[in-house]
């Protein structure tokens, strides 16, 4: 290989490698809560309670292995967006999306749920912690359109009275619509 060929090869490899590295999920900071998946029966009940349709954009804040956005797209034809701060979870969700056959309707973003823009959501799903739900409440009311549905697995939002609750296999699911009154 001549020096000229070597330079060309280096330029081609650099052009490929730099954008690939820029897109790779990265650890932003320590997650606020560890990954524990919502059982599939509870996922189905959450989406049913929110009356998800193909016109919805379902945001799962802390999306783990991606099961909620993927189910929203598979079962209802909705668009799904998963936000997770942990790059390992984003990698898993992206792998799961490959086999789910709804890749055109779902995306996963390696971002902090407290700083990501959620304004396009029409449904928001949560499985976090009571303290995180409370911390998130002002952002939900500020960024989401009136009438946006919010569903939380297991955890309420302090004194914000849910409009509905559901028991699924011993687990509680909470439902509110924006604006959520405290
Ligand atoms: C209990 S799991 C729920 C996973 C999924 N929503 C479900 O119900 O199966 C919580 C997820 O939130 C993510 N997480 C924790 N803190 C976060 C933050 N500040 N921003 C985005 N994701 C976060 C964790 O990495 C974890 O995957």
| Residue 82 Cα: closest atom of ligand 1 | 6
Answer whether 32's CB lies under 8 Å from 43's CB: no
> pLDDT tier at 15 (50, 70, 90 boundaries)?
very low
Nearest CA to ligand 1 atom 17: 31
Answer whether 82's CB lies under 8 Å from 58's CB: no
CB of residue 130 inside a 6 A radius of ligand 1: no
Chain centre distance of CA 19: 24
* Per-residue model confidence (pLDDT) at position 27: 78
Distance 84 CA to ligand 1 centre (A): 6
pLDDT beyond 70 at 1: no
What is d(CA 11, CA 145) in angstroms, rounded to the nearest whole number? 47
pLDDT beyond 60 at 70: yes
What is d(CA 45, CA 8) in angstroms, rounded to the nearest whole number? 56
Answer whether 63's CB lies under 8 Å from 38's CB: no
> pLDDT tier at 23 (50, 70, 90 boundaries)?
low
Of 15-19, 124-128, 148-152, 166-170, give the lowest mean pLDDT range. Answer: 15-19
Residue where the block lists tokens 């000229």 = 4
Answer whether 71's CB lies under 8 Å from 43's CB: yes
pLDDT beyond 80 at 8: no
Evaluate if pTM is beyond 0.85.
yes
* Per-residue model confidence (pLDDT) at position 12: 37
Nearest to 166 by CA among 71, 42, 52: 42
Tokens of residue 151, six digits: 């569903």
pLDDT beyond 80 at 4: no
Q: What is the pLDDT of residues 148-170, one digit of tens each?
A: 999 999 999 999 999 999 999 99
The whole-chain average pLDDT of the chain stands at 90
């Amino acid at each position: 290989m001549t020096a000229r060929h070597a330079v060309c090869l280096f330029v081609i490899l650099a052009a490929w490698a730099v954008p690939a590295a820029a897109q790779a999920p990265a650890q932003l900071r320590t997650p606020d809560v560890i990954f524990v998946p919502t059982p599939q029966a509870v996922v189905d009940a959450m989406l049913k309670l929110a009356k998800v349709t193909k016109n919805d954009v379902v945001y799962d804040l802390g999306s783990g292995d991606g099961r909620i956005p993927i189910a929203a797209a598979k079962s209802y034809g909705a668009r799904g967006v998963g936000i997770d701060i942990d790059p390992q979870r984003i990698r898993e969700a992206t792998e799961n999306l490959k086999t789910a056959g709804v890749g055109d309707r779902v995306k996963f973003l390696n971002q902090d749920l407290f700083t990501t823009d959620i304004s396009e959501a029409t449904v928001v799903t949560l499985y976090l912690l009571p303290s995180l739900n409370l911390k998130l409440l002002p952002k939900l009311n500020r960024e989401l359109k009136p009438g946006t549905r919010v569903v939380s697995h297991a955890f309420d939002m302090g004194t914000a009275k849910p409009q509905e609750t559901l028991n699924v296999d011993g687990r509680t699911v909470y439902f509110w619509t924006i604006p959520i009154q405290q």
